[in-house]
Chain A
């Protein structure tokens, strides 16, 4: 198996891209469309909001026209109860059982509230959802989310929108090694090397938005992310050399 030809499988779905995109932060729908096409993504998030605060359903029309599967999220929810209701509304509005579960503790860090998150995950799994929780880079919490029946776990690399990359690669490795569901690195990606690193650590996919939508040239960065995810996945499969302290010649010894 080479490159990214092996599809990502989440629950009973095959996803034809290991780069999952978000739609937040794009200047307009035309910019977003070019970025999504360049990314090659097959699964993309949307948020749920009160209808009087927005105009039209342009982002849904765009995703459907591009043939991209919709992954609604519960962004903005601060409690399990809020997140569960938002997920149920998303399922009704969009006719999908997929949900990116976000339960945020505070606006300053946007870090997940682990207690509310696990509670919401248990309720949504029991209600028949395919739950993809956005979680802390905590191997114990990731294990508990998997045990609760989540279809994937999505640890952060660093806080949402910071572009600080993967602050604790060892934790990501431990999550990957213990998980039997897909691991999606979600949040904190700044540039292409961060996405490649996530895949080299053994993640099954990367989810990002800001790194593309707020880049100086979103379309070019989307293309870069697509290549980085493919390269990182291929390198992980190829098996990197062990790290050595001292040099080791690659040319034959001189007689």
Chain B
């Protein structure tokens, strides 16, 4: 299954979840948030929220700025 993570194409197993994306990125467990197709997916739903094909996933964290 092809999806877009932070603007880059990735191939994931069928029925991959948001938690699988976090694992692929090696993202830290805190200070991170995820949107799928423009909607925030709460952390509590990461392991159950399945991604549709061609999903656009954004994974953000806080950096120095402002």
- Are A and B subunits of one complex? yes
Q: How far is the CB of A100 from chain B (nearest CB, A)?
A: 6
Q: How far is the CB of B61 from chain A (nearest CB, A)?
A: 5
CB neighbours of B16 from chain A (8 A): none
The 25 listed contacts between A and B (C-beta, < 8 Å) are A23-B65, A24-B66, A26-B64, A47-B64, A47-B65, A48-B60, A49-B65, A51-B27, A51-B32, A52-B5, A52-B25, A54-B63, A57-B31, A57-B62, A59-B64, A70-B62, A72-B62, A75-B66, A85-B38, A88-B40, A91-B33, A92-B34, A92-B42, A93-B62, A94-B62
Q: How far is the CB of A221 from chain B (nearest CB, A)?
A: 17
How many residues of chain B are within 8 Å of chain A by beta carbon?
26
Question: How far is B65's CA from A209's CA once the two chains are assembled, in angstroms?
Answer: 8
Q: Does A39 have its Cβ within 8 Å of any Cβ on chain B?
A: no
Q: How far is the CB of A72 from chain B (nearest CB, A)?
A: 6
Q: How many A-B residue pairs have CB under 8 A?
A: 104
- Whether B63 lies near A47 (C-beta < 8 A) is yes
How does the 8 Å CB contact mask read for A69-104 relative to B, with 1 for contact and 0 for none? 011110100000000011011111110000010100
Give chain A interface residues in 164-217, CB to chain B under 8 Å: 209
- Whether B60 lies near A23 (C-beta < 8 A) is no
Question: How far is B23's CA from A243's CA once the two chains are assembled, in angstroms?
Answer: 65
Question: How far is B59's CA from A91's CA once the two chains are assembled, in angstroms?
Answer: 13
| CB contact under 8 A between A51 and B60, given known A60-B31, A89-B35 | yes
Q: Does A50 have its Cβ within 8 Å of any Cβ on chain B?
A: yes
